[in-house]
Chain A
Amino acid sequence: MARQRSMEAILASDYVTIGELVRLTGARYSTLKFYTEEGFLPFKQEEQGLTRRYKREQTVERILYIKSLRGEGKTIPQIREILEGKEDS
């Protein structure tokens, strides 16, 4: 079992865990879990039951983007459409 990574170490790494995303963005765990399950936040997982790893920069950017869309009053289905549109383009 390892120690918790410092913010400095987190900011220097390419991949982060969901717990580290909570620390980086201030978003609630349940929110990030929901976004993950909705497919809004792509992740890497070597095997079932192992830690999910997210690309730090892209994921933080994505969370902030979703936050701004929520701020504009967009619903989850609308956000899904927007994100899918972005991926297609």
Chain B
Amino acid sequence: MKDLSLTQEYLLCTLNEKGKYSSFDMEKGACLVAGGVLELLMDGVVCLDGKKIATTGQLPVEKEYLRTVYEYIRREEPVKLESVMEHFSFSFSDKDLYALMGDVGDTLAEAGCVQKGMAGLLGKTVVYLPDPQAKDGVIQKIRAELLEDGELSEDIVALTALLQKSGELSRYFSAYEKKALKARLKSIKDSCENQLVTKMVEYIESLFMMAIIAST
């Protein structure tokens, strides 16, 4: 199995069998951006000071697929996390969100985890057909950590929280397993074992509330 990052694994798990990813599904898009920010935070490329985020140095070459997120933070720093999420989630054209998705999708294609193609009536829509085996590998990895006793890794906790927030957990886990996963996530949240992940989940939640209020 290839080493994939948090954002890559999240995108792989949220692509449907036709390789499409709708930007109209706000939660999925917001979680992709949150995944990118979290990955940069966990790798120390950006840092969080209170509610504001700023870069700490250059973007590593191997993280080039997060360039859109990194550049926005660098341009606006120090910037509120909510502003980063809003910029990607509520823009008129979704240009940056599509760019981020394309960049992450291309690295998945290079790793052989998806097949890039064109679809749609005019054949102009880029799609990333996921390799079922690669996708299953990620899901098995989540199972093997979260349904087992013992230590957990930040990456898996973050990925599961994002999949839960974007409503994707139901696609891969039974009701019984989902209950166990949610209980595990709650205990992590309550124990403040990983404040970074907890904070990010809270930000995503508040962002969704803002979207609901805005649409009513």
Contacts and interface: CB of A to CB of B under 8 A. Distances in A.
Contacts of B209: none
A17 interface: yes
A12 interface: no
Contacts of B194: 1
Contacts of B149: 48-52
Report, as a range, how many residues of chain B touch the other chain: 20 to 34
Contacts of B150: 17, 49-52
A29 B153 contact: no
Interface in B134-170: 136-137, 140-141, 143-145, 147-157
Interface in A1-51: 1-7, 17-19, 21-24, 26, 28-30, 32-33, 48-51
Contact of A19 (B133, B141, B188): B141
Given A6-B3, A51-B149, A51-B151, A1 B137 contact: no
B3 A22 contact: no
21 contacts: A1-B151, A2-B151, A2-B153, A4-B153, A4-B154, A4-B155, A7-B3, A19-B144, A19-B148, A22-B140, A23-B1, A29-B141, A29-B143, A29-B144, A49-B149, A50-B150, A50-B151, A51-B148, A51-B149, A52-B148, A52-B149
